[in-house]
Structure 1
Amino acid sequence: MTEDWIDVAAQADLPANDVIAVTAGAREIALYSIDGEVFATDNICTHGHARLCDGFLEGNEIECPLHQGRFDVRTGKAMCAPLTEDVRSFPVKVVDARVFVQVD
């Protein structure tokens, strides 16, 4: 593995169809487990300083707990007002039941 892939969690520690916060280097990441797939975004909403891991995950969208804006966790795309800026998403891979996130 290259150095830019960071081991952040055991796949077994991810609750099904939910979100948790993990640390990847100096960055806090929201890690989502959706129907057996794992996705990662920055954990802070781009609209208000709220942690996305405290939001509500429905399908492929995370709702910010502060102002109810929603992001697509697969791409980071802002889906509705009041959001005007996408959240950063990160590549994820699972190797030997460990979750790795690629950050720069």
Structure 2
Amino acid sequence: MSNWVNVCDLHDLDDEDVMRFDHGGKTYAVYRYDGHVYASDGLCTHEKVHLCDGLVMEHVIECPKHNGRFDIRDGRALGAPVCVNLKTWPARIANGQIQIQIEA
């Protein structure tokens, strides 16, 4: 079973930005780019660094520690040093809120 969880007001996350969202003992990274929102696990698969401190460039998040890059749309690892994809979560904008769909 899964459910939609409110993350924040849409205006709290700028375009081409990322924020940390903690829920149920898990950390997520929530992104906004070009009118769309995306969500992934919040820690880099390489050394478990928080991606919320990284840089969003178009559809790519760059980890702040070793510059590993992931596609925010599908979590795909885009080259060394990262080789394990990020888990992604459905995200949407509903009633002015960013929401992610997580497993219950």
Larger mean CA deviation between 15-24 and 81-90 belongs to 15-24
**Percentage identity across aligned positions?**
36
Q: State the one-letter code of the partner of 1:14.
A: L
State the aligned residue count.
103
TM-score, normalising length: structure 1: 0.92
> Residue 70 of structure 2 corresponds to which residue in structure 1?
71
Unaligned runs of 5+ in 2: none
Tell me the C-alpha RMSD between the 2 structures. 1.4
TM-score, normalising length: structure 2: 0.92
Is the contact between residue 62 and residue 69 of structure 2 (CA under 8 Å) also seen in structure 1?
yes
The 5 Å alignment of 1:7-18 reads 7-18=6-17
> Residue 58 of structure 2 corresponds to which residue in structure 1?
59
> Residue 100 of structure 1 corresponds to which residue in structure 2?
99
Q: Which runs of 4+ in 1 moved over 4 A?
A: none
Unaligned runs of 5+ in 1: none
